Amino acid sequence: MNQIFAFYLRTFDRQQQREMGHQIQDMLVKCKFGNEVCKPDNFTFFYNLQHGNCYTFASSQDSNRSQ
């Protein structure tokens, strides 16, 4: 069954695949990093064929370190 679903999922374009998957706004209930509250904007989206929508956390503290 998973192989059939994966086959049909590949027929959709990236935008359709993203819309069908979980959205960070729906999953992020409560998040705090250091003394900062996390928001969906603190996450970077990427799509994985095996796992679907994935998100990587990038705090503002991380961006301050690179400057």
pLDDT score at 67 = 42
Tens of pLDDT, residue by residue over 19-60, are: 888 899 999 999 999 898 999 999 999 988 778 899 999 865
pLDDT score at 30 = 93
Helical (H) or strand (E) element with 6? helix 2-9
What is the pTM (predicted TM-score) of this model?
A: 0.66
Query: Nearest to residue 58, comparing CAs of 27, 28, 33?
Result: 33
Please give the residue that has the higher pLDDT: either 61 or 11.
11
